[in-house]
Amino acid sequence: MKHVIKKLNILVDKITASPKKKVVSNNYSDFSDEDNEIVSFVKPYTMTSPERIKALLDAVRYVANNNIEGDYVECGVWKGGSTLAVAKMFSKLNKKEKTLWLYDTFEGMSEPTKFDLDINGKKASDRLKKEDKKTSWVWALSELEEVKKTMKLANYPKSKIKFIKGKVEDTLLEANKPNQISILRLDTDWYESTKIELELLYPKVVKGGIIIIDDYGHWKGSKKAVDEYIDKNNLNVFLNRIDYTGRLIVKQ
Q: Identify the pLDDT of residue 119.
A: 85
Quick check: pTM over 0.95? no
Higher-confidence position of 168 and 72: 72
Say what percent of the chain tops pLDDT 90. 67
Structural domains of the chain ordered from first start: 27-250 (3.40.50.150)
Whether the CA torsion 168, 249, 179, 99 is positive or negative: it is positive
* Band of residue 16 on the pLDDT scale cut at 50, 70, 90: very low
Q: pLDDT per residue over 105-151, tens digit each?
A: 887 666 777 988 888 888 776 665 665 455 554 545 578 999 999 99
Q: What is the mean pLDDT of residues 46-60?
A: 96
The whole-number average pLDDT for the span 207-222 is 96
Sheet holding 100-104, edge to edge: 161-165, 100-104, 71-75, 181-186, 205-213, 247-250, 240-241
